[in-house]
Amino acid sequence: MVRDGVVRFAFEGNANGAVNLVRFVDKTVCAAGRLATRAPNIAYGAARPEQVRPLARYDLDRHVILEVLDPAGLEVWSGEVAEGICPTRLPTPCDITADILHLFPLVREPIAQNPTGILAWTLANGQVLVRDGPGAPITLWSVEDEEFVRIARSLDLSAQKVRRLFGRGGWPDRESGPDIPSA
């Protein structure tokens, strides 16, 4: 966030050794949430624009990395492989296990967890892994896919989860489901 010619940022160093803040993407989500809500904390900083090198673009509503701008710089900064932080977006839908298996360890938050029904987990790149029922294959979806929107509508999602999936505007087709108020 640039204000008065200064870039203001939040960070997460995990000084307390929290087990849920080990991966770089989890630290990023935590810091971004703090920045979006302006939560009181000492983990803020400021710099002149010429002192900052953007490594990726981030969506503060969806808490996803929209684009990695400098993979090598991101790897040096984070100490992790860029593809492990934000996997390359794959064509969807995809239910070929061999093509999406590498994504399974990269899941973030569950959108839905029901062992007798649909399971859905988000990835840092905004795509979603879904098991559409017991014994069904796990399928990779993009939130722009019409069929994924149909699946998401069947999940009875909270307004917060709808916003995490689709952003500030809420449901993409607006035919049904609650609009998400702007913050």
Q: What pLDDT digit, counting tens, does each position of 21-42 carry?
A: 999 999 998 998 888 888 888 8
Q: Which residues contact 148 (CB under 8 A, 6 or more apart)?
A: 92, 93, 128, 130, 141, 142
Cα Rg of the chain (Å, integer): 17
pTM for this entry: 0.81
pLDDT band at 181; cut points 50, 70, 90 = very low
| CA–CA distance, 169 with 46 (Å, rounded to integer) | 30
pLDDT band at 166; cut points 50, 70, 90 = very high
Structure token digits, residue 150:
């149909």
Average pLDDT on 90-105 reads: 95
| CA–CA distance, 46 with 112 (Å, rounded to integer) | 37
Q: What's the whole-number average pLDDT of the chain?
A: 88
pLDDT band at 94; cut points 50, 70, 90 = very high
24-41 core/surface letters (b: 16 or more CB in 10 A; e: else): bbbbbbbbbebbeeeeee
Does 179 have pLDDT greater than 70? no
Q: What pLDDT digit, counting tens, does each position of 104-115 carry?
A: 988 988 888 876
Average pLDDT on 75-102 reads: 95
